[in-house]
A = this chain, B = another copy of it.
Amino acid sequence: MQKGIATDFKPAETSSPLVRKLGALCLLSEEEIDFLEGLQNNTLKVDRGLDFIEEGGDLRTTFIVIEGWAARYCLLSDGRRQILSYALPGDILGLHVNFRATATYSASALTPLKLAAVDPRRIIEISQKFPIIASGLSWCTAREYAILGDQAIRLGRLSARQRLAHLFLELWHRLNLLKSNNDNWLEIPMTQRDLADTLGMSLVHTNRSLKSLRDVDLISVTKNQVRLNDIKALIELSEFNAEHLREFRV
């Protein structure tokens, strides 16, 4: 297979989210795309609300999210919950499972979920046979790490309103990597309870902080949708740094 110009191999809209995500970062050959699609043949469904990874449990499978949203979280003994991050279509859970068989977090389905279960040995195969994909996965790892760092900044140093704005901006940017029509609407499946557990706040305070963002017209909220009315102002308010999510610099 000859190497073509970029547009030749631009992943189609019908490609899997993982291929779209990696394809937005680097030029994938048809062979690479085929391999990535093949990785995701073994799919399973998870009902909304169900856990598919449990903290402390054995984890011997790598999961790729194909459809829906998942949340990585930890529970404390008194029932408090901290959501660490969200996994969106194209995100990978347990990429390093070869080297850490016990899960350090739980993961549950925020929506009905379609996952690909991947034998982690195939991840090792990637680094041997598909260096470009391996680079892409390394980038994913670095990106996940930066996202978790942003989560720490939110929790440690931002006010309640800033946390909400910052999180919405993160999710908006991440989703824009997957779909092309990026208007200012953000479809989020989380309840206010979920948002509270993500942002380290109480449910009541989350509700009030959302209201205060609505009151100054920075966001509009309808059933499971948030409209970011003024991206620039939200970025300024929350000190959001889109660089953390950006693609390869090369």
Contacts and interface: CB of A to CB of B under 8 A. Distances in A.
A82 B153 contact: yes
Interface stretch (A111-119, A135-143, A185-193): A135-143
Q: How many chain copies does the complex carry?
A: 2
Contacts of A99: 135-136, 138-139, 142, 248
B149 A74 contact: yes
How many chain A residues sit at the interface, stated as a range, is: 35 or more
A53 to B, nearest CB: 13
Which of A74, A77, A144, A152 has the most CB atoms of chain B within a 10 A radius of its CB? A152
Interface string A123-153: 0000100000011101101111110110111
A80 interface: yes
A135 B200 CA distance: 34
A102 B243 contact: yes
A142 B98 CA distance: 10
A76 interface: yes
A12 interface: no
Interface of A: 56, 72, 74, 76-77, 80-82, 84, 96, 98-102, 104-105, 127, 134-136, 138-139, 141-146, 148-149, 151-153, 155-157, 197-200, 239, 241, 243-244, 246, 248-250
A152 B151 CA distance: 7
7 contacts: A82-B152, A99-B136, A99-B142, A100-B143, A102-B243, A152-B155, A155-B155
